[in-house]
């Protein structure tokens, strides 16, 4: 099973990838990052998207939904942002965050590839 560094490198091979981070939901800390640039700080994005995940989990609890989040999609003018909580026992409380350039990405394929990476990830 791939470790975190291999998984992050695999995610950067997804068409349109800007950057990816493995994030601890309880602290908002990025445990690992790949990609990004001076205009796109992945550690800031990771921390901020922790609040997105927490808000969705609170909403689901208030609604009494007994389901899990497969992924969260945020669509901007020029980018897709995918958040995928890890489901494996070793990944509880972690999520993958992937930012993509919209014009270069195939959203369905990116979601499929991120799911594969998540399922093979060994933390």
- Model pTM score: 0.93
pLDDT confidence of residue 91: 66
Calpha distance 57→64 (Å, rounded): 10
Residue 67 tokens, joined = 């389901």
The C-alpha torsion from 85 through 89 and 90 to 93, rounded to 10°, is: 40
Question: For the chain, percent helix, then strand, then coil, each to nearest 5?
Answer: 40, 30, 35
Quick one: three-class SS letters along 77-92? CCEEEEEEECCCHHHC
Question: What is residue 37's predicted lDDT score, i.e. its pLDDT?
Answer: 84
Predicted confidence band at 58 (pLDDT cuts at 50, 70, 90)? Answer: very high
The whole-number average pLDDT for the span 98-113 is 97
């Amino acid at each position: 099973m791939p470790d975190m560094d291999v998984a992050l490198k695999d995610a950067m091979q997804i068409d349109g990838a800007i950057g990816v981070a493995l994030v601890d939901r309880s602290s908002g800390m990025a445990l690992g990052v790949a990609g990004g640039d001076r205009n796109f700080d992945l550690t800031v994005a990771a921390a901020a998207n922790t609040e997105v995940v927490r808000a969705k989990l609170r909403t689901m609890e208030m609604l009494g939904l007994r389901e899990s989040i497969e992924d969260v999609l945020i669509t901007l003018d020029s980018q897709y942002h995918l958040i995928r909580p890890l489901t494996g026992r070793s990944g509880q409380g972690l999520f993958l965050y992937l930012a993509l350039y919209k014009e270069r990405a195939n959203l369905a394929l990116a979601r499929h590839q991120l799911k594969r990476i998540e399922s093979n990830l060994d933390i």
